[in-house]
Amino acid sequence: MTSLVSPLTSPSSPWLVPSSKTTTKKNCSSSRRCFRRPVIYLRSSSTPPNPDLLKSITKLLWGKSLPPQLLISTVRASWNGGWKLMMSQLAPSDSSGGFSRPISQFRSDSDSFRRRSNKLHLYVGLPCPWAHRTLIVRALKGLEKAAPVSVASPGMDGSWEFKEGGGAAEGGKMSGSLDKGGNGCANLKEVYRSRRGGYDGRATVPMLWDVERKDVVCNESYDIIELFNSGMNDFAENPSLDLAPQSLKGKIDEWNQIIYHAVNNGVYRCGFAQTQEAYDMAVSELFDALDLLDDHLGGSRYLCGDALTLADICLFTTLVRFDLVYNVLFKCTKKKLVEYRYLHDYLRDIYQIPKVAETCNLEAIMDGYYKFLFPLNPGGIRPARPSDCEDEALLEPHKRQVLSSMDRSMQVTA
């Protein structure tokens, strides 16, 4: 970059060099000197700017007061305009300013799934709660070999990219990876574009890929966990585990309707609200639902009784991020999860099921939200992890087994 350097500036001079050299105009009286306006010269240097000099320049330009009101109002208007533009792409809104989640473009059911090849590949991102639910069901059913996974990491431009060890590492937990077993692509957008017929829409996780047909099987998280639960038992190491038994189907559907709108999507409706009214409605519905869940779980080990179901897994992936991210970044501040009498123990109960904790890279989750959701956290500063979200705290005894009439091993064997 070409720099403007005063001929009088030596190589050791700082980046900003003020000049207040005086001059006497031809028609000025000798008793009255005319001052030339200070000029600031810029130069390129690897040496950081002198803070004292910057302070002096700031005082010279603005005096002892804050920047002029015009500057503040201009920056505010520019930022608001830019923020709304970014939010319109990141989080589309309805006419009231409420977050409107785009629908998944690739849906699948058990029948169409069975007509496909047996070579499947799962694409996920660790910060994403929707992708997290697929990792948990995959682990509990023992489908790691039948559905290999590529773990994408958030990119600075908002995309999902593949890099070895991408994202924060946490002992024994999953971390970012290259797309070795899938398509060998650099980012998820390339994977979607490589499908038969191409695709130029939103590249989202989770996504289940048909390796032989080079096509997207599904990118709707609930469809994928249903397929993993009941559609791949021939390849599962734990085929007897049923997370959605027919006898509980009605209860599972009822809980999912509450959980999806008010909790799973509810935290995003709080965080991505673009009007005060939309936020107020979302936060009220969220905490009403959490109060309802806490009351119910005071007398039931899991949502549908003694057995862990898909509804519990869908709730868990939001709860494990609540105090970690949503309470602060998404303004879900009315109450922390740890303040609930039963919800936090319920969270620990599921976290301690074999294989579940391995899918919970809490460092990667925090990085994914605080460092890459630029419209919500422009500075990219990541707060300290809450003490109730430390691994040691999540592994403390929960005593929820007293609510169950069955032995734990009869519920989940992973």
- DSSP designation for 173: S
User: Do 292 and 210 have their domain in common?
Assistant: no
- Claim to verify: residue 266 and residue 393 sit in the same structural domain: yes
Q: Which residue has the tokens 């208007």?
A: 77
Supply the residues annotated as catalytic.
128, 268
- pTM metric for this prediction: 0.78
230 and 255 both lie in a single domain: no
- For residue 380, being part of any structural domain is answered with yes
- My answer on whether 254 and 396 are in the same domain is yes
CB 39 within 8 A of CB 73: no
Residue 215 has φ and ψ, to the nearest 5°, of -150, 160
Closest to 120 measured CA to CA, from 133, 138, 104:
138
Q: Which domain holds residue 316?
A: 248-409
Contact 272/258 with Cβ under 8 angstroms? no
Gap between the Cα atoms of 73 and 64, Å rounded: 19
pLDDT tens, N- to C-terminus, the chain (414 residues):
444 333 333 333 333 334 444 444 445 444 444 445 444 444 444 556 666 776 776 666 666 665 677 777 777 777 676 666 666 666 666 767 776 666 677 767 655 665 555 789 999 999 999 999 999 999 999 999 999 999 999 998 889 999 876 555 566 788 888 888 778 899 999 999 999 889 988 899 999 999 999 999 999 999 999 999 999 999 999 999 999 999 999 999 999 999 999 999 999 999 999 899 999 999 999 999 999 999 999 999 999 999 999 999 999 999 999 999 999 999 999 999 999 999 999 999 999 999 999 999 999 999 999 998 888 898 999 999 999 999 999 999 999 999 987 544 345 543
Give the count of domains, the chain: 2
Q: Please state, in angstroms and rounded to a whole number, the distance separating the CA atoms of residues 182 and 123.
A: 9
Residue 95 belongs to a domain: no
Q: Do both 281 and 381 map to the same domain?
A: yes
Are both 216 and 272 inside the same structural domain?
no
Domain assignment of residue 359, yes or no? yes
399 shares its domain with 308? yes
Any idea what the CATH number is for the domain that residue 149 is in? 3.40.30.10
Residue of 322, 319, 313, 317 lying closest to 271 (CA atoms): 322
Same domain for 357 and 288: yes
- Rounded distance, CA 15 to CA 43, Å? 5
191 and 259, same domain (yes or no): no
Last residue of a domain, one of 201, 235, 269: 235
Residues 167 and 189 in one domain: yes
Amino acid at site 265: N
Q: Are residues 220 and 287 in the same domain?
A: no
Q: Say how far apart CA 265 and CA 245 lie, in whole Å.
A: 25
* CATH number for 375: 1.20.1050.10
Do 258 and 229 lie in one domain? The reply is no
- First-to-last C-alpha distance (Å) of the chain: 59
Pairing of strands 160-161, 207-210: unpaired
